[in-house]
Structures are given as C-alpha cells and as structure tokens.
Amino acid sequence: MEIRIATSQDVERIVELINAAFRRGEGHIIYGDRIDIEEVQSLLPKGEFLVAEDDGALVGCVYLEPRGERTYLGLLSVSPHLQKQGVGSMLMREAEQRRVAAGCRFIDLRTINLREDNRAFYKRRGYMETGTAPFPADIPTKLPCHFVHMSKSLP
C-alpha cells in the first residue's frame, strides 16, 4: 500500500471514497452525501489530502489543513470493505508524522457525538475531547447530534 499527496486528478475518486465511507458510518444520522466535487476542490488550495492506494485503487484518505502551529484533520475515510483492517491507523500515523516534520504542535479534529466508535478510535491514538459545537442547522439530520472537538499534542 502506498500513501501519497492527492492531486487534482484524484478529486472524483476522493469524493466517491468519502461518501461511501461516511454513508456506512453516518447514514443512520445524516441524509445525503457527505461531500461533493466542488467542496473537495475548494479544500485543495488550503491543505492536502493524503491518499492510500492499493494496486491503483484508492482505499483511504485524510485531509490536513495547516493553521499556524495547529493542523485541522478531517474526512478520514476508508473504503467500507477495508475498514477495521489498519488503513485508517496507517493514515493517521502518516498524517501525524508529516505534521511533526512540518513543525506542527497540535492536531485538531471534530466528530459527531453519536459516532462513539470514532471517538474511541481517536482516543486510542492520544486525542482528548476539548469541547463541543452545534451541528450546522442547514444539514438535515435523522437524529439530534452535535460535534465533539478533539485535539492531540504532537512531540
């Protein structure tokens, strides 16, 4: 498996991967797709997507956006048929190593409160809950929910 920085040629595959992964994990919470082509394209100039490829197939991705000494990490996605097989952990290790090398001191993320599996995944990697925020009112949900902010101090 290879991890690399995504290019503009990867946008459609990133959208498909994120939507498939989030549909599996959040389909019972949120209506519709998680992201579209325009949103991914708008993120590329602000940060980077790390993508994991296996024999040319895109099997995982994570978005990193530098913000001074902090980095926002989001959209961690793994192909549904490969979830719970270490791809997400591999992407997290690579993301953290790259941000440490760039001089970053903290990584911040947010997850939906109803995704207890996600919070446990991040806690096992040293992330701590740091607060909450309301879920955007313009995104229709099937269940009441809010965001949980998490952060990790890097070496």
Burial 70-97 (b: 16+ CB within 10 A, else e): bbbbbbbbbbeebbeeebbebbbebbbe
| Per-residue pLDDT, 84 | 92
CATH number 1.10.357.10 given to 2-153: no
Nearest-angstrom CA–CA distance, 137 and 149: 18
| Per-residue pLDDT, 5 | 97
pTM of the model: 0.95
| Per-residue pLDDT, 38 | 97
DSSP state of 8: G
Positions of the chain with pLDDT lower than 70, given as ranges? none
| Per-residue pLDDT, 47 | 97
Q: For 114-147, write each residue's pLDDT tens digit.
A: 999 999 999 999 999 999 999 999 989 999 999 9
Q: For 105-119, write each residue's pLDDT tens digit.
A: 999 999 999 999 999
Per domain, the residue ranges of the chain are 2-153
| Per-residue pLDDT, 81 | 94
Find all residues with CB under 8 Å of 111, minimum gap 6, and list them.
118, 119, 122, 147, 148, 150
